[in-house]
Homo-oligomer: A and B are copies of this chain.
Amino acid sequence: MSDATATIPDTSSATAAEPRWLDLEEQQTWRAFLSATQLLMDRLDRQLQHEAGIVHTYYEMLVRLSEAPDRSLRMSDLAASSLSSRSRVSHAVARLEERGWVRRESCPTDGRGLIAVLTEEGFAALESAAPGHVEAVRGNLFDQLDVEQVAHLREISERLLEHLTATGAVSPVPPLPAPAHPAAAERTAS
């Protein structure tokens, strides 16, 4: 009720400003962007499901764990680093645990917390999925753009990321990779 309504125009007021509708060019840009990102993510999902049996968001969680000290992260940190909600991470970790790729342990420094640990099998699965995944990312993104376009894409993405993290539910200046901590948003959502 509090924060969210601040960004939403008051439509009940008769004096509310006219919505800033997108003009034709903006609409075309927005739809191309939406469609391209949706198709790209679907393509990456299909490739990973075909080769490794997991969707891209699960793959990214395995990557985050593989980069962490002792290949383990508190569930809350895994959620933050993968920009997911706690509930989505819990669901994903449960699925990955069924395959023996991740296991949950109680946190040594915090009896109430849980940590997710990448198993040897999980690391092997990641190693085996990585070449096909990177080829899909190259073939469907980097190979399609020239050097300038890649630079533009980075500039645009970093600008948007800066805005989105600054206006997210938590810290205005989060450390990179800069989660907007959806878990906090969930707590205040209802």
Contacts and interface: CB of A to CB of B under 8 A. Distances in A.
Interface of A: 2, 4, 6-9, 11, 16, 19-22, 25-26, 28-43, 45-47, 49-51, 55, 60, 63, 66-67, 83, 123, 126-128, 130-132, 134-142, 144-145, 149-150, 152-161, 163-165, 167-168, 171, 173-174, 176-180, 182, 185, 189
Contacts of A22: 134, 137-138, 142
Nearest to A3: B67
- Copies of the chain in the assembly: 2
Given A22-B138, A31-B177, A33-B157, 6 more contacts: A8-B50, A26-B142, A36-B158, A42-B83, A43-B168, A46-B179
Contact of A9 (B29, B66, B157): B66
A161 B19 contact: no
26 contacts: A7-B67, A7-B139, A8-B130, A8-B132, A8-B134, A11-B127, A11-B128, A11-B130, A11-B132, A22-B138, A28-B154, A29-B150, A29-B153, A31-B177, A33-B153, A35-B157, A36-B160, A39-B164, A40-B164, A45-B179, A55-B179, A140-B167, A149-B152, A149-B159, A152-B156, A153-B156
